[in-house]
Amino acid sequence: MGNPNVGKSVIFSRLTGVDVISSNYPGTTVEYSEGRMKLAGGQAILIDAPGVYSLDPTSKAEEVTRRIVDEGADVIVNVVDATHLERNLNLTLQLLERGIPTVVALNLWDVATKQGIIIDVEALSRELGVPVVPTIAHSGQGILDLVMAIEAAEQPEYIEFTSSDQRWARIGEIAALTQRVTHRHPSLLENLEDLTIKPLTGIPVAILVLYLSFSLVIRIGELIIERVTDPLFAAYSNWAFDLVGRYTSGIAHDLLVGSSPGLLESFGLLTTGLYIPFGIVLPFLIPFYLLLGLLEDLGYLPRLSVLMDALFHRIGLHGASIMPCILGLGCSVPGVLAVRILDSPKQRYIAATLMTMAIPCASQNAMVFGILGPYGLRYIAIVYCTLFLVFIATGFILHRIIKEESPEIFMEIPPYRMPDRKSLLKKTFVRLRAFLNEAVPYIGVGMLAMNLFHITGFMDYMGMALRPVISGMLGLPSDAAATLIIGFLRKDVGIAMFAPLEMTPMQLAIASVMLAMYFPCVATLMVLLKELGPYDTIKSVSIRLIAALLVGTAMNLLLT
């Protein structure tokens, strides 16, 4: 347990390894993680509770954390930020009042030392009456000592405070007795913190960071495809086509490898069905997740919140709304769940609608890079500039229509910290594995559906029925109708289905924007129903459909 941004989850990962279970606390939508660790010759269950500042509930996360404590823990590992000792001790003393065996992990010990903060660990342990272990989570320093302290943890001496003022007075006494701050010069990272949070310098830096990030993802993805996946799949597809041709024919042959050996044109389960996730999406997803994790661990993303605050206020939100948007770049489902950090129903509705409509998920981004990358950055820029304008324009309109209040929110901005390589690779691995486990079956279903649509003539029927919209208004081939239907199952699969249709780069750009806007994928739709309710979800989806048709038509008229 601990405050947000103290390295709690990194210590949890050190103690439990990669494989953990994440689930919602019963009766709530607040998520916690559960794993197993070796302890005293056996195994123990370790729970990573939501990060909170206090056990006096003012939010769902604090309510859940308090219930976890009250329902019985054998030992509490309280992770404390050594650079903000006084603020963190408020939660520590509240935990000690519960009388549960407690160990304090004094994390970010290296950062505190560099900042000139000297803490007498023995004195702090004596004042609190529990073991205190200095730790550096990202390097693993102190983790073994922490495990030994957990094994030997005992019930603390009884303490009780009659008021919060009395507790804070005691915190001041402890800090005065155990902590000394010395003069030092600002570090390079601290100077960068100032530069990247002030609008005059921060906005150009943000534009540069985003441009370099997207360029790097595209370059690395294209390099992996050119040097690794394309040569491998070229050899594999010829082998698979010959092997399946020996033992099957007719419909079975077409379903497995398609009617042509082309990797994108065949629609075969064993050719296109594997090439899309492993040969096209994965090469872009690897650098994307690595870069996202790097920006997360570095502490840059909260600074984007500050820089975006003024703009977001004009669309009824505030800077903290950037966090659901950033999560939406990975997957729309956690992005929708993250709108809970916003206080008013108006803000949650606007944020969920804009994020799911104008922010493609990671696998969808990878497919956009994959199909438009060969034509240059220009067409990729058209897609994302259009979606950005849609985000701003729709938010501005919704803010004017919905008359409810948009309250402020207070959010801590952590200092810059150098990311740990092992933790970054571990996080990237978990995200990639989750994507492949989820995406490959959906893509296989998409390939099967496309083949069946071709065989039964359903593709032609849908193309004829929707031709006035698909071809007339949007300027796309009539076969694109079926891909939009499949996009309801999974957006990246829908974009992948555009690749074999021999569309022009501009048509691919229009189709990519349409697929991002017109309808949420089925998983996101279910989460929207849960978070917004049926009525607001219907309104949100209706807005998307109207906006998608208007934007797609405008792009067709202006750009083709």
- The identity of residue 486, as a single letter, is I
* pLDDT(20) > 80: no
**Taking residues 438-459, what's their average pLDDT?**
70
- 24: confidence class by pLDDT, cuts 50, 70, 90: very low
> Lowest-confidence range among 213-227, 256-270, 322-336?
256-270
Q: Could you tell me if 29 and 337 are in contact, meaning their C-beta atoms sit under 8 angstroms apart?
A: yes
pTM (2 decimals)?
Answer: 0.63
* pLDDT(28) > 60: no
pLDDT for 29 = 42
Name the residue with higher pLDDT: 364 or 12: 12
**Taking residues 88-114, what's their average pLDDT?**
91
* pLDDT(131) > 50: yes
**Taking residues 35-57, what's their average pLDDT?**
84
Residues in the chain, overall count: 560
- 437: confidence class by pLDDT, cuts 50, 70, 90: confident
pLDDT for 263 = 62
pLDDT for 411 = 62
- What is the share, in percent, of the chain residues with pLDDT greater than 70? 86
CA distances from 307 to 173, 207, 250, 408, 437 (A): 37, 11, 59, 15, 36
* pLDDT(122) > 90: yes
d(Cα 254, Cα 260) in Å, to the nearest integer? 9
Look over the chain and give the mean of its residue pLDDT values, rounded to a whole number.
80
**Taking residues 193-203, what's their average pLDDT?**
83
- 124: confidence class by pLDDT, cuts 50, 70, 90: very high
Q: What's the sign of the alpha-carbon dihedral 320, 323, 326, 331? A: negative
- 178: confidence class by pLDDT, cuts 50, 70, 90: very high
Which residues does residue 104 pair with via DSSP β-bridges, in sequence order? 78, 132
* pLDDT(522) > 50: yes
- The identity of residue 194, as a single letter, is D
**Taking residues 10-29, what's their average pLDDT?**
62
DSSP letters, 388-402, are HHHHHHHHHHHHHH-
**Taking residues 81-103, what's their average pLDDT?**
92
**Taking residues 32-56, what's their average pLDDT?**
84
**Taking residues 198-219, what's their average pLDDT?**
83
d(Cα 275, Cα 354) in Å, to the nearest integer? 31
Name the residue with higher pLDDT: 515 or 270: 515
CA distances from 400 to 315, 348, 352 (A): 8, 15, 17
pLDDT for 128 = 92
**Taking residues 144-169, what's their average pLDDT?**
90
* pLDDT(27) > 50: no
pLDDT for 410 = 60
pLDDT tens digits, residue range 337-373? 778 767 678 888 898 899 888 988 777 787 788 788 8
d(Cα 257, Cα 253) in Å, to the nearest integer? 6
Write down the residue that tokens 């540069």 correspond to. 208
pLDDT for 490 = 61
**Taking residues 86-97, what's their average pLDDT?**
92
* pLDDT(414) > 60: yes
- Residue 549 DSSP one-character state: H
pLDDT tens digits, residue range 525-551? 777 887 788 888 899 989 988 998 999
List the domains of the chain with CATH numbers: 8-184 (3.40.50.300), 197-405+422-559 (no CATH)
CA distances from 395 to 122, 188, 206, 355, 356 (A): 54, 38, 21, 10, 12
- Residue 375 DSSP one-character state: G
